[in-house]
Structure 1
Amino acid sequence: MEKYLGKKYKLKTSENFEEYLKFIEVGLISRKLVQALSPECVITRNQDGSYSLTMTTPIRKVVITFKIGEEFNEQRPDGVEVKSVMRMDGSSLIQIQIEDNGRKSTHIREFSDKTLTVTTTADGWDGRCIRIYELVE
């Protein structure tokens, strides 16, 4: 994971994202707005050993700060509070996100020299969302 710290990736393709957003009950206007954006993603390590995952768009910047293996409170971009935990597996960052209603989503971020592939699944949803980001040189 070390070699991917500080690298910037920009969203290029998205598959089944709206279906996932519908499943987690994101409203129509928010869904349409977020689908029109191409965020940039960067992961950095902080001095205290925590990490920050930053998603930047022209209208908003979302920063998630976490320590590997420790549960933390997260506010999703749609305003919903969830509990999350991150773990690393090689060049992948795996996030488990649990809403107050018990619904669980899994986001697997696979980093490579040229791409960041985010695969999202959710308990009770038979779909799979795949978003591919490309390295910004």
Structure 2
Amino acid sequence: MDAYLGKHYKLKTSENFDDYLKLIGVGLLQRKLVQSLSPVSVLTKNADGSYTLTHITPIRKMATKFRLGEEFEEERADGVKVKSVMTIEGNKLIQIQTESSGRKSTHVREFSRTALKVTTTAEDWDGVCIRTYLLEQ
């Protein structure tokens, strides 16, 4: 994973994102706003061994600090608090996110030299959301 640390990946394509946002209860206005943005995603490793995943947009910068394998509370962009656990498998950062209702979403971030592909699935949903970010030069 070290080869991908500090790289800036900018969103280029998004499939089924609106359907996923509806599933998790994001309202129409927030969905439209979120979908109008092209965030930049950056993963860094901190001196204490933890990681920070940062999403940067023109209107907001969200940074999530975590330790691999340890549950932490996170606030989603829509303000809802969830529990998450992050693990690494090769070039994949895997996040299991659990809502207060118990429903789980899985976000698999697959890093490569030129792109970051985020594949999202969720319980009670037969869809798949794929968001592709390209490495900024």
Q: TM-score, normalised by structure 2?
A: 0.99
Higher strand share: 1
Alpha-carbon distance between aligned partners in 1 of 2:84 and 2:73, rounded to the nearest angstrom: 6
Q: Work out the number of aligned pairs and report it.
A: 137
Secondary structure at the counterpart of residue 126 of structure 2: strand
One-letter amino acid of the structure 1 residue matched with residue 52 of structure 2: S
CA distance in 2, matches of 1:16, 1:81: 23
**Other-structure match for 1:41:** 41
Deviations 1:49-102 (A, max 9, x none): 000000000000010100000000000000000000000000000000000011
Aligned mates of 1:73, 1:27 — CA distance in 2: 22
2-side partners of 1:129 and 1:15: how far apart?
5
Structure 1 unaligned residues grouped into runs of 5+? none
- Matched position secondary structure for 1:52: strand
| Runs (5+) with no aligned partner, structure 2 | none
1:129 alignment partner AA: C
Task: Quote the residue 1:100 is aligned against.
Answer: 100
SS for the counterpart of 2:118 is: strand
Please give the alpha-carbon distance, in whole angstroms, between the structure 2 residues aligned to 1:128 and 1:96.
15
Q: How far does residue 26 in structure 1 lie from its aligned partner after superposition? A: 0.3
Equivalence map 1:1-137=2 (5 Å): 1-137=1-137
Question: 1:78, 1:15 → 2: CA distance?
Answer: 19
TM-score of the two chains, using structure 1 as the length reference: 0.99
Same amino acid, percent of matched pairs = 65
